[in-house]
Amino acid sequence: MDWKLELVTIPVTDVDRAKAFYTEKAGFHADHDHHVNDELRFVQLTPPGSACSIAIGTGLGESEPGSAQLQLVVADIHAAREELLGRGLEVGEVEDFPWGSFVFFRDPDGNAWAVQQLPPR
């Protein structure tokens, strides 16, 4: 049996600001934006090429905004960093470790993102 992780909820304070950040700065695709009722709004966003999406909104959970830590994996960390910089995202320098090369950034609420290029195997 396959067990596939397909959706992770990210706590945010301002859904519209977060949606703009993830689509305009991080380059995610906006898949859904539904106001179910006054207490529930569901926005699904997907990184290019990913089988897993994120959900932001209202009424989706009890985690504090800024508490999420997530990781993306790319084939070329330098190209990924340049793309993010070109979108106006504040992203750190490439950091090299034995387990891969990384850049790091945060969304407007402080949720932490790592972008990793895996080391040669």
pLDDT in tens, 23-42: 999 999 999 999 999 999 99
Mean pLDDT of 1-12: 94
Q: Which of 103, 51, 60, 109 is nearest to 82 (CA)?
A: 103
* Predicted TM-score (pTM) of this structure: 0.93
pLDDT in tens, 36-62: 999 999 999 999 999 999 999 999 989
CATH number listed for the domain at residues 7-117:
3.10.180.10
**Burial class of 121 by CB neighbour count within 10 A (0 to 12, 13 to 18, 19+):** exposed
Domain ranges in the chain? 7-117
pLDDT in tens, 14-25: 999 999 999 999
Residue 109: pLDDT over 90: yes
What is the per-residue pLDDT for 121? 79
